[in-house]
Structure 1
Amino acid sequence: MQYLTGFGPHVVILARMRRLTLAVLLVLTGCSSSTDDGATGFTAIDLTATPEALAAHGDMLVIGTRPSDHPELVTRSKDGALGNARLTPATPYGKEAHWYGITSDGVTITGVGGERGGAHGNVRWSAWTGDTRQIVEKPQAFSTFGGYGAGELIGPARTPQGPLIIGTWQSDKAGLDIAMWTYAADTWSRQPSAGTVLESSQDLLRFPLAVTQNGDGVLVAGWQTGKGQVSAAVWQFDGRTWTTAALPDGDAALAARCWDGTCHVVGRSKGKLAWWTGTGADWKKLTTPDIPVGDDQVLAAPVPVNGTPTLFIDHDGVKLVSEKDERPANGPTGAVTAAERAGDQVFLIAGAHLWRLGG
């Protein structure tokens, strides 16, 4: 070993250790998406129209956008290349639809659109099926999603058996039932809610607000009221039967996402953010930062960020919230209406713009 003239070997070793430490820090800094003040950086993605809905299509991101008067479907590949799927509407309201939800199994894309119209200003629904090359509106009978007993459509979700749509429909007993539509041969069919936990009654009214895939079925999040009590609730479908569970100390569940065998549900409790984790009948409320959530506020479903379940929310600026902490986001502003993970990248819609986590 050669030593620098005038220096002992321990000095040379210390110098080399310092250089190595500095190099490691520079590499980590270069790979990090965090700024020096602890904020987490985002990159804006330029689109030609307002983004309304997001879905992962394998490693690709599918973006439902809407210019001033019609829907579009934009794709973003892992390398950042943008493309457009050709939309083929089949009805006048399909030509004008806003996106209420999009889902994909990596091969087939399913979308729900809607635009208000008619004498009563009700939403006129459109259902879309296709892939990244073309997505087509599949016209349905008026009574499929509309008519005297119609409620609202919450959105679509994928299962191994095919896509589902969750919404509401007039109950035989009281108010509206939670309703499920299944798809076969280009036709959506509403399944009976009577006799299941989806049915409302004089004692308990049910209100779905979000749906997400959960294993072989789906999880629906929302709220219910009965005998003067209001509680957050979930309804779970395993591909055959429905079950339900009330969430502890909650007023409403607003958004949900399931991965790795656990569901993460966010909502409101006494005007504050509430977060539950669990599945089946076993649910736990987490301790989270003190963040107000209004009665009409929309929350985006949590996503995993570096292995940590993370919620994006506008709280004096957009923040990344986990059970452990709350960090500012560098870039996005405004209400966060959607978040999605496609491959190893995380995206969100905030302030009517699309953002990607990281540089």
Structure 2
Amino acid sequence: MRAGLVGAVVGSAVLLGACTQGTEEGRSPAPAVAQLTWERVALPGSLAPETLATTTDLVVVGAHGPGRPRPHLLVGPDATTLREVALTPRSPYAFEAHWFGITTHGDRIDAIAGARGGAHGNYRWSTWSGDTKGVAEQEQPFGVFGSYGAGDLAGIAYAGDAPVVLGAWQSQQTGMDVATWTRTGNRWARVPSTGTPLASTAQELADARVVTSRGDGMLLGGSVTHLAPGAVEVEPVAWSAPGPSGPWARVGLPRTGDSGTAEVQGARCTGDRCLLTGVTDGHLSVWQVDAGTPRELTGIPAVEIPENGSVPSPVTLAGNDVVVAPTASGSTVLRRNGESWTSTGGPSGTPTSVVTHGDELWVVTSDDSGATTLWRARVA
């Protein structure tokens, strides 16, 4: 079965409504730029897109179908030639799973997926591995990702050629620790967080939302909640490690203003340079982490993020950083050239996953009912 394009959506005008009036510290009104024409990519068999990835020359689409087995993977060089990758689920919940993260290394594909089940409706996690010809579940003992003390999984990425899973696990002190898992053969094992910068304490609660490759190492993004008598402060934070098992270093990120809530929600590294996206007091924030001092970027068009909204990881297109951010009316696309930024309209719906492929921007969005749509637009 092949995917196809369903018409062309009228080119999106600049979303002035997505930008707050006037200027704020570190934020600027958006200049008008060329419109993007968004095309809906229809997947075969009424499949619903969930998440995206790319290999060197292929787009990878994680999707969910109406019949068992529900998870599907599609790959192809363009929107009209997407084909299904043979999947081999093994555990009962793998037949029902939704994709939570897909990562690639050359033609290798590794992924995490989950389906709710059991008396408490917690996620039952599954890990998958293979290539563009076939991907199979790597069935794990229940206690690897589940059982007492388990939190949710947040993502998967490569450190060099080794996949690493990010999630949370009950702290030996307070709340939940940031947790990572590494793989030996087909078996995953949790790396202890106690005594590392990933651990929570009675004064600081660590929470990581995203993991991304950084050369032979990796970078996590999230926040640390500082607990003090009569005060709670949420600081945007990154954690970096030179290899899949650490050692970890915590990097506090600057933020606009002196107080309030700020967190990292997306991240992407090119070499040692990393761009992180997130929210500070309801507005889009973008940080850069490299060999120098971390900084919050200025001159970014002011974008108000809806309550409980999350900003997907940034991408790179033709050497420019691109951020697709949710707004009250849908989404907006921000493009960086040097130190200047432009803004134009994104596809309808809330963006949840973004990749670039050649000169195209691919985006999965969801609507208020939870229905998802896959879009693409050529960026000049």
Normalised-by-shorter TM-score class: 0.7 to 0.9
How far residue 37 of structure 1 moved from its aligned partner, in angstroms, is 7.5
Aligned to 2:129: 129
The alignment's TM-score, normalised by the length of structure 2, stands at 0.81
Do structure 1's residue 354 and structure 2's residue 366 form an aligned pair? no
* Residues 333 and 294 of structure 1, relative CA distance in 2, 3 Å threshold: closer
1:1-359 equivalence runs, <5 A:
38-48=34-44, 49-69=47-67, 70-78=70-78, 80-226=80-226, 227=228, 228-239=232-243, 240-249=246-255, 251-279=262-290, 282-287=293-298, 288-315=300-327, 316-322=329-335, 324-329=340-345, 332-351=347-366, 352-358=372-378
How far residue 259 of structure 1 moved from its aligned partner, in angstroms, is 1.1
Q: Percent identity?
A: 33
Distance 2:157 2:206 in 1: 19
Distance 2:220 2:146 in 1: 21
How far residue 337 of structure 1 moved from its aligned partner, in angstroms, is 0.5
Q: Secondary structure at the match of 2:60?
A: strand
Distance 1:154 1:94 in 2: 17
How far residue 134 of structure 1 moved from its aligned partner, in angstroms, is 1.1
- How many residue pairs match? The answer is 326
The alignment's TM-score, normalised by the length of structure 1, stands at 0.85
How far residue 304 of structure 1 moved from its aligned partner, in angstroms, is 1.5
Aligned to 2:23: none
Distance 1:105 1:161 in 2: 7
How far residue 42 of structure 1 moved from its aligned partner, in angstroms, is 2.7
User: Which structure features the higher share of helix residues?
Assistant: 1
Distance 2:48 2:316 in 1: 25
Distance 2:249 2:219 in 1: 10
- Structure 1: runs of 5+ lacking an equivalent: 1-32
* Residues 134 and 291 of structure 1, relative CA distance in 2, 3 Å threshold: same
Distance 1:311 1:140 in 2: 36
- Structure 2: runs of 5+ lacking an equivalent: 1-10, 14-31, 256-260, 367-371
* Preserved contact between residue 245 and residue 280 of structure 1 (Cα < 8 Å): no
* Residues 294 and 37 of structure 1, relative CA distance in 2, 3 Å threshold: closer
How far residue 321 of structure 1 moved from its aligned partner, in angstroms, is 1.1
* Preserved contact between residue 241 and residue 247 of structure 2 (Cα < 8 Å): yes
Please, what is the CA RMSD of the aligned residues?
A: 2.1
Distance 2:290 2:112 in 1: 26
